[in-house]
Amino acid sequence: MATVDYRSLAEGIVREVGGEDNIVSAAHCATRLRLKLRDESKADKAAVEKLPGVITVMQAGGQYQVVVGNNVPSVYAELGRITKLGGDEAPADGDDAPKGNLFNRFIDLVSSIIQPIIWPLAAAGLLKAFLSMAVQFGWLNVESQTYVILAAAADAIFYFLPLFLAITAARWFKANQFTSMAIAGALVYPSIVALGAAGEPVSFAGLPVVMMNYTSSVIPIIVAVWLQGYLERFLNKVLPSALRNFTTPLLTILIMVPLVLMTVGPITTFIAQAISSGVNAVFGFAPWLAGAILGGFWQVFVLFGLHWGLIPIITNDLGTQGYSLLTGPLLSAVLAQAAATLAVFVRTRNTARRQVAGPAALSGFLAGITEPGIYGVNLPLKKPFYFGIAGGVVGGAIAAIGGSAANSFVFPSLLSIPAFTQVGNFTLQMIGTTAAVVIAFTLTFLFGPREAEAPVAAQPGETTPPAPSTDGSLADVGAPATGTSSGATAATATLPTGTATATEVAGTVEVLAPVDGTAVALAEVPDKVFASGALGKGLGIVPTDGHVHAPISGTVKAAMKSGHAYGIKSPGGVEVLVHIGIDTVQLDGRGFSPAVTRGDQVKAGDLLAVVDLDVVAEAGYDPTTLVVITNTAQLAGVVPTAQGTVTHGQPAVTVQI
């Protein structure tokens, strides 16, 4: 496909499927452009299949799948340049969100939307931790202008969090991101914040508006952008094209800002007030139970913005009696989540996760800033978040039994512990806090997900540089290949004892089984494109273990962000696609832990990824792992050899170069 003009191909696909207006969303997997069409009858399947570069077209699972092979990222990138449907960095459409129970889908949605800003959140949280430490030890005066400037630098991303989330949510829900930012900006606009703080009745066009504080909130703006997407698509459909460009954002902002203020605010405020009244009532007859509720679910309240219903009570208590019993359990709630994050840092072998978890745990412990840890580590992994809640429940109950409370408004953290020494039983506060930390850390360390270790990079001289591609297939996905080796080059990969060796000797290559399981003929795989051999010859393996290994030594030329597919090119020019499961791109990474990225050098037998087969099964997808030689047409011969039960590392396909 070296001669294929990707721009022309993308334009042709859009034209033949009925135009951009007929495309609801676009995404791609390892080999296919996946389109959701408003009306599939408008698409000319035969015309699409005749386009240069298109292998075939499939209509399945509510999607119009255009199979273009390994060059699909290039076609998708061009699609993003000529339409408003996305591009290289655009996530899957919100409608393609991971399947599963509603709560897990919600967690995955929130985690995916927040993920792009995790690094700035972690950095700002670390800065807040250092500022808190500097103030605590008297190195910096909070009245100084230096502190004010540094505090603004550290606080801005948290205060204006809805603005940042507006961008990522807009990309997820396929809404106009600048209109989303305008809506978010209105929610945190100084005069709107002041209206909420004043506590006086507010109305809009004669209708009452129940105000709340939207700064640092997460859920309101996500809901707003979700609704915005539907509104924009409706307006773009009914408005004349001559007016659409400026009328759509005008009407969207005009409708969405008052709508959010009049719906999200009242609903959130009502729930928050109900929680606040309930917790206060429980404190009257069962302090331990109220402490357990606050200690366990404070971070959940923060996630939904419901904690703002408790803040006025805490502030009032501090002003009238000098302390608030509601603050006692919060130390356990915050430090338990920080401890769970720290356990992930210690336990995980995923370098990227460790890089987030380390500073996130530090900012949680020292400054009480848990957003980086929760959104970047605990919530996406789920179990650490649950274990943090468990620790908070126990610690909060113990602290409440002792009547512990802070005598000033502080972020619960290690540095704020002196604020808890004057009211109630400080010993029980420390016992509860310690219990919360120990429980969260221990449970996460023992039972949390153990993510895959990235493979060790090949040392110089161990792997021959990849040969330049002559057909433009895998080489087009990543950086241009370098080197001068030919198909006759010999390269031997060393595997652990007891496994076969993948070799390229005298023009013969043994491609190994990437997983343990049962081999099946490619024609029996429940996917028409793979089964037809359109993407190349190979076989399928129904896995019995979730560890997926490299079937050949070479360069990783393609590594899907979702972790479900990998393309490897050997030094001799053999191109192998390892595709984990059928249609598992729909999981959008849930259950997959990649161990390699594009450009990595791997040896046969190195770990590519770890997949949770239970997650795949629960979501209703076939876990069959495919091993396909994608440049079969350029090779002398490709013969699948594995039959029956196989173990990873055993020869599976013999290739003649």
Amino acid 452: pLDDT: 55
Per-residue pLDDT reduced to its tens digit, 370-391: 888 888 888 888 899 999 999 9
Q: Tell me which residues are annotated as active site.
A: 29, 579
> So what's the pLDDT on residue 423?
85
Residue 401 CB neighbour total at 10 angstroms: 19
Q: In which residue ranges of the chain is pLDDT below 50?
A: 1-2, 88-99, 453-506
Q: What is the per-residue pLDDT for 429? A: 92
Angle of the 287-304 helix axis to the 383-401 helix axis, nearest 10:
140
Under 8 Å CB-to-CB from 519, ≥6 apart: which residues?
A: 513, 539, 540, 541, 640, 642, 643, 644, 645, 646, 652
Strands 592-594 and 575-580: what pairing? unpaired
What is the pLDDT at residue 319?
Answer: 67
Spatial distance between the Cα atoms of 319 and 327, rounded to a whole number of angstroms = 14
pLDDT given for residue 211 in this prediction? 82
Helical spans, DSSP H, in 322-403: 330-347, 351-367, 371-373, 379-381, 383-401
* CA gap 225, 177 in Å, rounded: 9
Average pLDDT value over all residues in the chain: 80
